[in-house]
């Protein structure tokens, strides 16, 4: 029952700056997965324009998979740090959270990117971001092979080299286990796109400079395997001449396995686009989802969050990834029990084994692996993957319960418990949220609770029918339900739904949960 507390204690490390003199020299036997470093570069949209206030609307109205994430990262009225992910932008260094955009009310792609990487790869992650509005690859980011270095190219290299020399300052938990420059995310192009000279020659020189950019960075940072993701400029479905120049870099000989062009046109949110049409007439409604002009992707939190996730997935396509099947050949007698427990979906057992293995890898590495650095490095990478696999689903289950609990949605709490209690009951963090509800639902004499569940089931049934086909009869049934259960959370939600659907003949019923406040 106390295994989570042990794991938390083992993983906790306070964030505090330190000088280069405090660096930890690599031990003979590394004791953790290598630090993975990603460079993020571009102009104003890499700086970031997505406003954090949009989270209020998004937690109720985004897609179901996105809502689950938003409820996990935003709890108790605040955003929580992303575990294991650190960032430097300008002169700030810290844990990844919102507020690393153009100002502390905004996000750029770094937020969704870092969150996704934390979900998919084990070990610590460092993001190094250099971006500035209105700057071009032709001048400020100009790589040496194209006639540079430009000012921002040099800044990017200098930041990366400073990180190499002072890793403890950037990642306080760093213990000398080594690092890798994994990739560059490039999200830039507006000013190059409107350059008449570049436009006249079909942006061939831009493509050449972009090709030189990644090759020069690999050379300057001694990172020959560093990958590159190129984010599409614009929301256009059909590639523009500029987009084709971007795409050509990824398709060049020698780049096909190490450079990805990532389109973003399909990531545009219909609600944001619709509300922008009347933003002047309805500023409050617009402010729920947007805050800027189209060239800044409407200042939508959701857009920049989606961009970051898409860029991360593009990066991961080029990076060898573990799966439960592929990792089998890398297991040893220390990591195999944890793998077996996860494969058998014995999550409580896996949680205990995870905490124990974490402790052994930290304290008894020499005894376990006899000073064999390669074997221990492999074991740490395997463990980091298994730990991430365990806690990803666990965190989502906890976030789902908290979401429904906050709304008093007992029907969905019961459904969520049916899906997760058998897996995670016995793990302290889960029990803290679920235990009291499990006890309540076990008491079959609690008629009030059973009635709430029944009312909730009826409410969701009405909404589901309206989603499938909207009729006057079904709207009337929803109105009648709202009146009959006016004091219930479901009756109030039904009232809101009825008002919105009645006021707009073209509106479709949303997911029922989005009406519960």
Write out pLDDT tens, residues 272-310. Answer: 999 999 999 999 999 999 999 999 999 999 999 999 999
pLDDT band for position 8 (50/70/90)? very low
Question: Could you tell me if 181 and 263 lie in one domain?
Answer: yes
Q: Contact at 8 Å (CB) between 317 and 71?
A: no
Q: Is 195 exposed, middle or buried (0-12, 13-18, 19+ CB in 10 A)?
A: middle
Domain boundary among 441, 462, 493: 441
In the DSSP assignment, the letter for residue 299 is G
| 365-371 own/partner pairs: CB under 8 Å, 24+ apart | 365/29, 365/31, 366/29, 368/334, 369/29, 371/28, 371/29
Mean pLDDT of the chain: 89
Question: Could you tell me if 162 and 177 lie in one domain?
Answer: yes
Q: List 93's β-bridge partners, or say none.
A: 88
| Chain mean position to CA 121 | 12
Q: What is the pLDDT of residues 439-476, one digit of tens each?
A: 999 988 899 999 999 999 999 999 999 988 899 999 99
Question: Could you tell me if 82 and 229 lie in one domain?
Answer: yes
pLDDT at 456: 95
Specify which of 60-74, 137-151, 399-413, 443-457 reaches the highest per-range mean pLDDT: 137-151
Residue with tokens 């001048």: 139
pLDDT at 9: 34
Classify residue 89: in a domain, yes or no.
Answer: yes
pLDDT band for position 24 (50/70/90)? very low
pLDDT band for position 394 (50/70/90)? confident
pLDDT at 17: 37
d(CA 66, CA 128): 25
Question: Could you tell me if 293 and 371 lie in one domain?
Answer: no
pLDDT band for position 338 (50/70/90)? very high
Question: Could you tell me if 394 and 456 lie in one domain?
Answer: no
pTM more than 0.95 = no
Question: 420: how many CB neighbours lie within 10 A of its CB?
Answer: 21
Domain boundary among 283, 317, 351: 317
With a pLDDT cut of 90, the percent of the chain lying above it is 70
Classify residue 159: in a domain, yes or no.
Answer: yes
Assigned token pair, 107:
């996000």
In this predicted structure, the answer to whether residue 506 has a pLDDT above a threshold of 80 is no
Number of domains in the chain: 3
Classify residue 486: in a domain, yes or no.
Answer: yes
The domain of 379 spans 326-441
Alpha-helix runs per DSSP H in 98-203: 109-120, 151-165, 167-170, 190-193, 196-200
Q: Contact at 8 Å (CB) between 230 and 186?
A: yes
d(CA 181, CA 491): 54
Cα separations in angstroms, 431 against 348, 371, 398: 11, 39, 9
d(CA 135, CA 510): 42
CATH of the domain at 292: 3.40.50.1110
With a pLDDT cut of 70, the percent of the chain lying above it is 93
pLDDT at 39: 98
| Chain mean position to CA 428 | 25
If one compares 514 and 420, the residue with the highest pLDDT of the two is 420
The candidate with the shortest Cα–Cα distance to 460, out of 434, 489, 438, 484, is 489
Classify residue 23: in a domain, yes or no.
Answer: no
From its phi and psi, is residue 84 left (phi > 0), alpha (psi between -120 and 50) or beta? left
Q: What is the pLDDT of residues 484-500, one digit of tens each?
A: 999 999 999 999 999 98
Classify residue 247: in a domain, yes or no.
Answer: yes
Of 186-190, 403-407, 510-514, the range with the lowest mean pLDDT is 510-514
Question: Could you tell me if 303 and 234 lie in one domain?
Answer: yes
As a whole number of Å, the end-to-end CA separation of the chain is: 33
Classify residue 414: in a domain, yes or no.
Answer: yes
**Residue range 380-389: mean pLDDT, rounded:** 86
Count how many residues are written for the chain.
517
Question: Could you tell me if 275 and 351 lie in one domain?
Answer: no
* Calculated CA dihedral for residues 292, 294, 52, 286, nearest 10 degrees: 70
Classify residue 21: in a domain, yes or no.
Answer: no
Q: Is 408 exposed, middle or buried (0-12, 13-18, 19+ CB in 10 A)?
A: middle
Report CA torsion sign: 334, 338, 340, 343: negative
Q: Is 419 exposed, middle or buried (0-12, 13-18, 19+ CB in 10 A)?
A: exposed
d(CA 393, CA 390): 6
d(CA 305, CA 66): 10
Question: Could you tell me if 362 and 415 lie in one domain?
Answer: yes
HSE-CB of 513 using CA atoms within 13 angstroms: 22
Q: Contact at 8 Å (CB) between 32 and 175?
A: yes
pLDDT at 321: 73
pLDDT at 31: 57
144 SS3 class = helix
The candidate with the shortest Cα–Cα distance to 514, out of 127, 71, 146, 93, is 71
pLDDT at 366: 81
Question: Could you tell me if 311 and 339 lie in one domain?
Answer: no
Pairing between β-strand 179-187 and β-strand 227-231 as defined by DSSP bridges: parallel
Q: What is the pLDDT of residues 208-261, one digit of tens each?
A: 999 999 999 999 999 999 999 999 999 999 999 999 999 999 999 999 999 999
Question: Could you tell me if 330 and 310 lie in one domain?
Answer: no
Question: 400: how many CB neighbours lie within 10 A of its CB?
Answer: 22
In the DSSP assignment, the letter for residue 129 is E
d(CA 175, CA 168): 8
From its phi and psi, is residue 203 left (phi > 0), alpha (psi between -120 and 50) or beta? left
Classify residue 13: in a domain, yes or no.
Answer: no
Q: What is the pLDDT of residues 25-84, one digit of tens each?
A: 444 444 568 899 999 999 999 999 999 999 999 998 899 899 989 988 998 789 999 989
Question: Could you tell me if 268 and 366 lie in one domain?
Answer: no
| 130-133 own/partner pairs: CB under 8 Å, 24+ apart | 130/39, 130/40, 130/41, 130/155, 130/156, 130/159, 131/40, 131/41, 131/42, 131/43, 131/44, 131/46, 131/47, 131/89, 131/188, 132/43, 132/44, 132/47, 133/43, 133/44, 133/47, 133/102
In this predicted structure, the answer to whether residue 372 has a pLDDT above a threshold of 50 is yes
Question: Could you tell me if 296 and 430 lie in one domain?
Answer: no
pLDDT at 22: 41
Domain boundary among 441, 460, 483: 441
**Residue range 326-343: mean pLDDT, rounded:** 92
pLDDT at 3: 40
């Amino acid at each position: 029952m106390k295994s989570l507390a042990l794991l938390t204690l083992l993983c906790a490390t306070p964030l505090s700056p330190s000088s280069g003199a405090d660096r930890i020299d690599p031990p003979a036997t590394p004791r953790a997965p290598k630090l993975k470093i990603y460079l993020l570069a571009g102009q104003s949209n890499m700086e970031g324009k997505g406003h954090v206030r949009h989270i209020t609307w998004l937690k109720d109205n985004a897609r179901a998979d996105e809502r689950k994430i938003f409820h996990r990262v935003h709890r108790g009225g605040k955003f929580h740090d992303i575990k294991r992910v650190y960032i430097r932008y300008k002169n700030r260094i810290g844990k990844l959270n919102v507020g690393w955009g153009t100002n502390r009310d905004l996000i750029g792609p770094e937020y969704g990117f870092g969150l996704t990487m934390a979900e998919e790869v084990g070990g610590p992650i460092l993001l190094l971001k250099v971006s500035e509005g209105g700057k071009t690859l032709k001048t400020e980011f100009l790589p040496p092979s194209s006639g540079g270095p430009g000012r921002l190219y040099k800044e990017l290299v200098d930041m990366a080299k400073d990180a190499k020399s002072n890793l403890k300052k950037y990642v306080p938990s760093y213990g000398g286990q080594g690092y890798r420059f994994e990739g560059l995310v490039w999200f830039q192009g507006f000013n190059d796109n409107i350059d008449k000279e570049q436009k006249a020659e079909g942006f061939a020189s831009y493509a050449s400079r972009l090709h030189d950019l990644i090759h020069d960075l690999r050379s300057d940072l001694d990172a020959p395997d560093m990958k590159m993701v190129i984010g599409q400029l614009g929301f256009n479905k059909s590639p523009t001449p500029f987009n084709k120049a971007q795409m050509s870099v990824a398709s060049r000989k020698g780049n096909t396995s190490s450079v990805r062009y990532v389109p973003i046109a399909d990531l545009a949110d219909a609600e944001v686009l619709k509300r922008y049409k009347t933003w002047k007439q309805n500023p409050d409604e617009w402010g729920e989802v947007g805050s800027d002009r189209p060239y800044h992707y409407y200042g939508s939190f959701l857009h920049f969050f989606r961009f970051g996730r898409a860029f991360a997935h593009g990066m991961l396509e080029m990076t060898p990834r573990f799966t439960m099947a592929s990792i089998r050949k890398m297991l040893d007698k220390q990591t195999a029990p944890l793998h077996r427990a996860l494969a058998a979906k014995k999550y409580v057992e896996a949680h205990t084994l995870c905490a124990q293995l974490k402790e052994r890898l930290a304290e008894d590495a020499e005894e376990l692996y006899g000073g064999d650095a390669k074997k221990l490095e492999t074991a740490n990478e395997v463990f980091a993957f298994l730990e991430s696999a365990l806690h990803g689903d666990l965190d989502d289950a906890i976030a789902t319960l908290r979401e429904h609990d906050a709304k008093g949605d007992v029907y969905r709490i019961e459904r969520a418990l049916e899906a997760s209690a058998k897996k995670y009951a016995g793990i302290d963090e889960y029990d803290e949220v679920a235990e009291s509800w499990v006890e309540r639902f076990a008491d079959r004499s609690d008629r009030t609770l059973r009635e709430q569940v029944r009312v909730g089931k009826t409410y969701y049934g009405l909404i589901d029918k309206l989603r499938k086909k909207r009729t006057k009869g079904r709207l009337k049934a929803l109105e009648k339900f709202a009146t009959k259960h006016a004091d219930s959370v479901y009756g109030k939600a039904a009232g809101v739904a009825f008002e919105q659907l009645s006021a707009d003949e073209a509106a479709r019923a949303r997911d029922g949960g989005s009406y519960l406040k």
